[in-house]
Structure 1
Amino acid sequence: MAISIATHTDVNWRRNAPTPERPLTMSGRDLQADDALLPHSHPWGQVTYALEGVMRVTANNSSWIVPPLRAIWIPPEVEHAITVLETTQLRPLFVHADRAPFAGPMCQVLEVSSLLRELIVALEQHDQHEQSARQALLGELILDELARSATRPIRVPLPDDKRLKALCAALIAAPGAELTLKDWAAQVGASERTLARLFERELGMGFGQWRQQVRLAHAAPMIARGTPLLLVAQELGYTSQSAFSAMFKKTFGCSPSAFFDFQ
Structure 2
Amino acid sequence: MAIPIVTHTNVNWRRNAPTPERPLTMSGRDLQADESLLPHSHPWGQVTYALQGVMRVTANNSSWIVPPLRAIWIAPNVEHAITVLEPTLLRPLFVHAERAPFAGALCQVLEVSNLLRELIVALEQHDPDEPSTRVTLLGELILDELSRSATRPIRVPLPEDKRLKALCAALIAEPGADHTLKEWAARVGASERTLARLFERELGMGFGQWRQQVRLAHAAPMIARGTPLLLVAQELGYTSQSAFSAMFKKTFGCSPSAFFDYQ
TM above 0.5, yes or no, is: yes
What amino acid is aligned across from residue 122 of structure 1 in structure 2? A
Question: Deviations for 1:18-54, whole angstroms, at most 9, x for unmatched residues?
Answer: 0000000000100000000011000000000000000
Cα distance in 1 for partners of 2:61, 2:70 equals 19
Residue aligning to 2:231: 231
State the superposition RMSD in angstroms. 0.9
Q: Whole-Å Cα distance in 1 between the matches of residues 129 and 155 of structure 2?
A: 34
How far is the alpha carbon of 1:128 from its aligned partner? Answer: 1.0
For the Cα contact (< 8 Å) 1:113–1:262, is it kept in 2?
no
**Is 1:36 equivalent to 2:58 in the alignment?**
no
- 1:51-102 superposed Cα distances (whole Å, 9 cap, x missing partner): 0000000001100000000000000000000000000000000000000000
The answer to whether the Cα contact below 8 Å between 2:256 and 2:262 also exists between their aligned partners in 1 is no
Q: How does 1:23-102 map to 2 (within 5 A)?
A: 23-102=23-102
Amino acid at match of 2:108: Q
| Contact preservation (8 Å) 1:116, 1:145 | yes
* Cα distance between partner residues in 1 of 2:244 and 2:130: 48
Provide the secondary structure at the position in 2 that maps to 1:73. strand
> Comparing 111-120 with 128-137, which one deviates more in the overlay?
128-137
- What's the counterpart of residue 204 of structure 2? 204
What is the CA deviation profile of residues 181-232 of structure 1, one whole-angstrom value per residue up to 9, with x for unaligned ones?
Answer: 1111111110111000000000000000000000000001100110000000
Distance 2:216 2:116 in 1: 24
Matches within 5 A, 1:213-252: 213-252=213-252
Assess if the C-alpha contact under 8 Å between 1:32 and 1:84 holds in 2.
yes
Where does residue 7 of structure 2 map in the other structure? 4
TM-score (norm 2): 0.98
- Residue aligning to 2:129: 129
Which secondary structure state, in structure 1, belongs to the residue aligned with residue 52 of structure 2?
Answer: coil
Letter in 2 for 1:217: A
- The 8 Å contact of residues 223 and 262 in structure 2, kept in 1 or not, is answered as no
> Superposed, which structure 2 residues align to 1:104-143 within 5 Å?
104-143=104-143
Contact 2:226 2:262 in 1 (8 A): no
Q: What is the number of equivalent residue pairs in this alignment?
A: 260
Partner SS, residue 83 of structure 2 = strand
For the residue of structure 2 that corresponds to 1:104, the secondary structure is coil
- 2:185 aligned partner: 185
Counterpart position of 2:159? 159
Q: Structure 2: where are the runs of 5+ without partners?
A: none
Cα offsets for 1:205-262 (capped at 9, x unmatched) = 0000000000000001100110000000000000000000000000000000110128
Counterpart contact for 1:31–1:89, Cα < 8 Å: yes
Structure 1: state its 5+ residue gaps. none
Task: Give the AA of the match of 1:116.
Answer: L
Provide the secondary structure at the position in 2 that maps to 1:51.
strand
